[in-house]
Chain A
Amino acid sequence: MRGVRSDPTLLRRIAGGFLLLLALPAAWIARGVVLDNRLERWIAHDAAERRRYEEFRTTFGSDEFIAVVVSGNSLFDAASLAALTDSLERLEQVPGVVTVQGLPQVYRDRFGGEDIPELEREMTSTPFYEGLFLSRDARSATLLVGVEPAEGAQERIRLCTAVRDATRPLAERGFRVAVVGSPVLIVALDALSTREAGITFPLAVLGSMIVLAWLLRSPRAMLVAAVHSGASLALSLGLVVATGGSLNMLTAALPALLWVLGLSYAVHIISRYRQLDPALGPEEALRRALAETRTGVFYSALTTVLGFLSLLAAGLAPVRELGMFGAIGMTLSFASSQTVVPLLVRLLRVGRGADRAPRLLRAARWAELSVRSPKTVLAIAAGVLAIAVASIPRIRLESNPLSFLPAHDPMVEEYRWVAERVAGFYTAEIVVRLPVPWTDPTAWPVLEKLARALAASPIVAKVVTPLDLLRKLEQWDQGLDPVAYRLPDSREKAESLLGNLDANGRAVLASLAAPTGREVRISAVVREMDEGRFLHLVREARDAVAHLPEGWSGSVTGQVLSLAMAQQNLVSAQLRSLTLAVVLVFLAVFVGLRSWRLTLAAIPANLLPIAVTFASMAWLAIPLDAATVMVASVAVGIAVDNSLHYLIEVSRERAAGSDPIAAARGALAVVAPTIAVATLAAVTGFASLVLSSFLPIRYYGLLSAILLVVALASDLLITPAILAAAVSWKPCRVESPR
């Protein structure tokens, strides 16, 4: 043991072998990784909105539903109604389905499966069913399937599959059937993100390996980098699965991210080794390469880990998971770079390669420009920064979950088709607390006014209030005369009508009014997925609630609102924590460089990529949402990597006696090829994600690629220019590290 302890190379090799061995079962375990995009996970538990929503559900039940919309056939004929009733009864048998309401349910339960002409008259003679169960032209119908929130992804898939299966009689009858609603959309997003994660990750691997092949021109070097990255990834994902974790829409991009970042560490070590090998021989070159790159790789990993760790401050579990798994992954990647990479370099006998590197990268020509004309470079950079910063306010803050899917995805088509016809996809729920029982006629004008205000919105398909039920009961009590579809003339009459409700009717009543009678629910069924337009409706609703008479109060809630608010809060929180991330990262940079001047020199080159990335979102109309806001926090840790490598080399040059200009130029000559290779491989990896059909992954890849390209340009131009400019103002400003 003493021999092992005293021989760090041997210790490192043993550790590398151990990690490689551990990676095998980890890879096996990692196969079981699943996506979990349950809606509840995206709502912060301590948020006031969450509490409001839970109270709402306790009082009125779940507001989650699936809408089955049919069209393309006559609705009011015996065969169509038989098919609809068949589907209704199948739907009622589906586990997780609480209620099914719609035309066939009225036909079966109220009309006993008879009197079709009377049914048509009943359904079309009053506004009661219009916009909810039946389109205005009575050619499309909706079955509203109330569901309990699914326990997990698999249960939700089973529920949606069973619901689709239950609609088979409708398709057989020749109806066009669309199935929409939150659970269905989540299943589609899950399926697409899982499929895309499966496709885009190999693409990222392939893209980055092609670039490495072009730049390194050494299959063995490529193999070392690939095995190291693959092992880090397998260990990270294996840990995720082993600890009961799962991936989600955000962390689905994590494998690609860990892969490209892992490659970067390996590239730095391998490139330096190949530069040193001709002069020092393999053993010494490997030892020196590790020693010279360790600080850069360590602080690169540290800053990236800090970028990820800043996400732990988020209120949402999926975001915290991204932070935690990302930090663990980068730590493992660093450990692998220091153990697995040297082991494999030696085992595979990676050959000399300095002279094989493309001329383009070897000649740090960009440095000439930045060192020769630093003020010009800095002026241009300042201009770009100003334009970028000016563009940031134009970023859209709202997203549309439907747009996560490709424009011609069947689900998108179904949503569009449904929106044009009958029902909405989800609800905005307004809970109104009254000073008198809601059955009191003095309360009705207030409730009516509120309902009218909501119905005025173009995105509202229908507003449902308990007063609608009262009107319908009055009409039925008056011999079904459509003229009698009106509110009863007294509270006594209203309560008598409600008192005669059967079990189904009482269930409907319970979903609209609290047993106390002093709290009612007004549901605005929304047919628009754009978050901005939905939040506008919410603002209008809140405004209307704020203007309720004295003694009245109310609140706006609902599942989708909870999600939207969670996302908005998340974006605000992440923007605030970005500041924290920047401070933490540059603190780490300071510790790494041990020079506040060099740290200051690193800041502009790293703020510009972040600003340009945000500006790109404005220019490319990419919304700042839960997915895209993550790029900045993580990217600040990634972007600084190249600066660290460069500035550490500058310090080393200065320590070796070079003057500042020569140090800036010399450091570029040493690290520019390496950081260019590492960055281009990473950019190619991220850019491959642009091929994804799943928008969050596509945006993530695109924005990360933009950020890395700008960061590379900044590191090769701005940082040397700052150093050169500092020298031109006051010679020898750059300090050597202690």
Chain B
Amino acid sequence: MTAFALAVASLLLAAAPLGANETVEGAERAIALAAHRYDEAAALEALASARALAGHAPEARVRDLTVHAGLLAAELLRDRFEQTPSKDRTRDKLGDRIDAIAQESLGMIGSLPESSERHRIEADLLATLIRSDFRAKKYEKRFRAAFGRALELDPKNPRAIVSSAKPFLFAPPGRGRDLKEGIQLLDRALELDPRLETALLLRARAREELGDRTGAKQDWRALLAMNPDCVPARRALENEGQERVGPHG
């Protein structure tokens, strides 16, 4: 689920709002930095900063920041959730935390101006909530409607295309999973924005799952070239090197 985090991180890096007062700018910088470094703690701090702006900055701006920070935090937490063993009792608490943050952001998203990005963010927030069959059934329609509306408003929104690829990439086998179809959508997103970290990261993962190690490696390298702080890419390449050399060097 690092992919979710990357999707938002890249978005935030590209679209961090400028020109607001110092406090708002500080929050924006904090969000961008957390996204750049895949730093969960920093993302939670940025979210807290955004919330703290209430009453000190224009309401719409605060909401916008809170939603962005919330998505980043939720996706980074979701990444940790996926890596936590199911028997670990902290996993439940992590899930509750993701839910709380995502629901808070979803509660604010209606007041953001109508745009393809607003619906794309809504889809990605919903994606952080979808962690089981039950939740897939619960949120599926709303999720599809959200990225559908995002693409309707801007068919060339690469992030919305990435969101639309997620069901193909993350659905369980036999329940709509189609990695090749997902990769095609990611290719299209990358055609529109070749520096879209999320798309590259998701494609690298999908290629790995399909057994295309060369293709995956190319994507990981491209990611690392774009963002030397891209933790998943660095780890993947380190693992690749260890596997090639062997456990004893």
Once the chains are docked, how many angstroms separate the CA of A111 from the CA of B172?
Answer: 13
- The secondary-structure label for the interface of chain A is helix
A476 to B138, CA, bound (A): 9
Interface string of B194-237 (1 = CB under 8 A from A): 00000000000000000000000000000000000000000000
Would B134 and A112 count as touching, CB distance under 8 A? yes
Please name all residues of chain B whose beta carbon is closer than 8 Å to the beta carbon of A477 when the two chains form the complex. 137
Shortest A189–chain B CB gap in Å is: 37
Given contacts A500-B175, A506-B174, contact A82 B89 (CB under 8 A): yes
Question: Which residues of chain A have C-beta atoms less than 8 A from B91's C-beta?
Answer: 113
User: Which of B86, B138, B141, B173 is within 8 Å of A502, CB to CB?
Assistant: B173
Type the 1/0 row for A489-532, where 1 means its CB is closer than 8 Å to any CB of B.
Answer: 00000000000111101100000000000000000000000000
* Chain A: CB-nearest residue to B89: A82
Q: Which residues of A contact B176 (CB under 8 A)?
A: 500
Q: Which of B86, B92, B137, B174 contacts A108 (CB 8 A)?
A: B86
- Is B87 in contact with A502, judged by CB distance below 8 angstroms? no
Q: Please indicate the chain A residues that have their CB under 8 angstroms from the CB of B173 in the complex.
A: 502-503
| A5, CB-defined interface residue at 8 Å | no
Cβ of B156 to closest chain A Cβ, rounded Å: 31
Partner of B174, one of A85, A109, A503: A503
A284 adjacent to chain B (CB < 8 Å): no
Chain B residues with Cβ below 8 Å from A118 are: 134, 138
Q: A78-B92, A479-B141 are known contacts. Are A112 and B174 too (CB-CB below 8 A)?
A: no
A111 CA to B129 CA in the complex, in Å? 12
A502, B175: Cβ atoms closer than 8 Å: yes
Our pick among A82, A114, A479 for the contact of B137 (Cβ within 8 Å) is A479
A119–B132 CA distance with the chains assembled, in angstroms? 12
Q: Report the minimal beta-carbon distance from B219 to chain A, rounded to whole angstroms.
A: 28
With CB as the reference atom, state the residue of chain B lying closest to A110.
Answer: B133
Q: Are B175 and A114 in contact (CB under 8 A)?
A: no
Which of B134, B138, B173 has its CB near the most chain A CB atoms (within 10 A)?
A: B134
A78 to B174, CA, bound (A): 30
User: Would you give the 0/1 interface string for A706-717, flagging 1 where the beta carbon is closer than 8 Å to chain B?
Assistant: 000000000000
Chain B residues whose C-beta falls within 8 Å of the C-beta of A505 in the assembled complex: 174
Chain B contacts for A381, CB-based, 8 A: none
A86–B85 CA distance with the chains assembled, in angstroms: 12
Which of chain B's residues have a CB closer than 8 A to the CB of A112? 131-135
The size of the chain B interface, using a CB distance under 8 A, is 19
Contact B132 A115 (CB under 8 A): yes
Q: Contact: A480 with B132, CB < 8 Å? A: no
User: Which one, B87, B133, B134, B141, contacts A82 given CB within 8 A?
Assistant: B87
- Within B29-68, the residues touching A (CB, 8 Å) are none
Cα distance, A111 to B134, chains bound together (Å): 5
Asked if B89 and A502 sit within 8 Å, CB to CB, the answer is no
Interface string of B156-174 (1 = CB under 8 A from A): 0000000000000000111
Determine the residue in chain A with the shortest Cβ distance to B137: A476
Contact of A368 with B by CB under 8 A? no
Contact, CB under 8 Å: B133 / A111: yes
A122: interface (CB < 8 Å):
yes
A678 vs B131: C-alpha distance in the bound complex, in angstroms? 78
Known contacts A501-B174, A502-B174, A506-B174, A114 near B141 by CB under 8 Å: no
Residues of A within 8 A of B86 (CB): 85, 108, 113
Which residues on A sit within 8 Å (CB–CB) of B131?
A: 112, 114
In residues 347-370 of chain A, which contact B (Cβ within 8 Å)? Answer: none
Provide the bound-state CA to CA distance between A112 and B173, in Å.
Answer: 16
Contacts between chains A and B (CB distance < 8 A), count: 59
Determine the distance from Cα of A505 to Cα of B172 in the docked complex, in whole angstroms: 12
Other-chain contact of A480, B87, B92, B138 (Cβ < 8 Å): B138
Partner of A122 from B134, B172, B175 at Cβ < 8 Å: B134
Asked whether, in the complex, the Cβ of A113 is within 8 Å of the Cβ of B92, the reply is: yes
Q: Are B89 and A480 within 8 A (Cβ)?
A: no
Other-chain contact of B172, A78, A113, A115, A502 (Cβ < 8 Å):
A502
On chain A, the residues within 8 Å of B133 by CB distance are 109-112, 476, 502
Contacts of A113 in B (CB 8 A): 86, 91-92, 132
Q: Could you tell me if B135 and A480 are in contact, using CB atoms closer than 8 angstroms?
A: no
- Within residues 76 to 98 of chain B, which ones have a CB less than 8 A from any CB in chain A? 86-87, 89, 91-92, 95
Quote the shortest CB–CB distance from A82 to chain B (angstroms).
Answer: 7
Which residues of A are found within 8 Å of B92, using beta-carbon distances?
A: 78, 113-114
Chain A nearest CB from B239 CB (Å) reads 26
Q: Are B134 and A110 in contact (CB under 8 A)?
A: yes
Cβ contacts under 8 Å, B134 to chain A? 110-112, 115, 118-119, 122, 480
Point out which of A82, A85, A109, A114 has the most chain B C-beta atoms below 10 A from its C-beta.
Answer: A114
CA distance A110 to B137 in the complex (A): 10
Q: In the complex, which residue of chain A has the Cβ closest to the Cβ of B99?
A: A114
Chain A nearest CB: distance from B228 CB in Å? 34
A114-B95 CB under 8 A given contacts A501-B174, A502-B173: yes
Which B residues are CB-close (under 8 A) to A501?
Answer: 174
In the bound complex, CA of A170 to CA of B136 (Å): 30
Q: Pick the contact of B132: A78, A82, A110 (CB < 8 A).
A: A110
Which residues A574-616 have CB closer than 8 A to chain B? none
Beta-carbon contact of B135 and A115 below 8 Å: yes
Distance from B80 Cβ to chain A, minimum over Cβ atoms (Å): 15
Contacts of A119 in B (CB 8 A): 134
User: A45 CB to closest chain B CB, in angstroms?
Assistant: 39
Is there contact, CB below 8 Å, between A111 and B132? yes
Distance of A122 Cα from B134 Cα, bound (Å): 10
Q: How far is the CB of B179 from chain A (nearest CB, A)?
A: 16
**B141 shortest CB reach to chain A, Å:** 7
The interface residues of chain A lying within 8 Å CB-to-CB of B132 are 110-115
Q: Write the nearest CB–CB distance from A295 to chain B, whole angstroms.
A: 77
A480 partner residues in chain B, CB cutoff 8 A: 134, 137-138
Q: Give every chain B residue within 8 A of A476 (Cβ-Cβ).
A: 133, 137
Contact residues of B between 115 and 155, Cβ < 8 Å to A: 131-135, 137-138, 141
Give the distance in Å from the alpha carbon of A682 to the alpha carbon of B174 in the complex: 69
- Roughly how many angstroms separate A562 CA and B190 CA in the complex, as a whole number? 64
Among A113, A119, A503: residue with most chain B CB under 10 A:
A113
Among residues 103 to 161 in chain A, which have CB atoms less than 8 Å away from a CB atom of chain B?
A: 108-115, 118-119, 122
- A501 — nearest CB in chain B belongs to which residue? B174
CB within 8 Å of B: which A35-91 residues? 78, 82, 85-86
| Cβ contacts A465-501/B at 8 Å (1 or 0 each) | 0000000000011011000000000000000000011
Most A CB within 10 A of own CB, among B89, B132, B138, B174: B132
Nearest residue, chain B, Cβ from A475: B137
In the assembled complex, the Cα of A115 lies from the Cα of B135 at a distance in Å of: 9
| B133 closest partner in A (C-beta) | A110
Kindly state the separation between the CA atoms of A505 and B137 in the bound complex, as whole angstroms: 15
| A-B residue pairs in contact (CB < 8 Å), sample of 26 | A78-B92, A82-B89, A85-B86, A109-B133, A110-B132, A110-B133, A111-B133, A111-B134, A111-B135, A112-B134, A112-B135, A113-B91, A113-B92, A113-B132, A115-B132, A115-B134, A115-B135, A118-B138, A476-B137, A479-B137, A479-B138, A480-B137, A500-B174, A502-B172, A505-B174, A506-B174
Q: Which residues of A contact B (CB under 8 A)?
A: 78, 82, 85-86, 108-115, 118-119, 122, 476-477, 479-480, 500-503, 505-506
Task: Enumerate the 4 nearest inter-chain pairs by beta-carbon distance, A residue then B residue, closest first.
Answer: A112-B132, A502-B174, A110-B133, A111-B134
Chain B residues at the A interface, C-beta cutoff of 8 Å: 86-87, 89, 91-92, 95, 131-135, 137-138, 141, 172-176
Q: A113-B91, A118-B138, A480-B134 are in contact. List 11 more A-B contacts (CB 8 A).
A: A110-B132, A111-B135, A114-B131, A119-B134, A476-B133, A477-B137, A479-B137, A479-B141, A500-B175, A502-B173, A502-B175
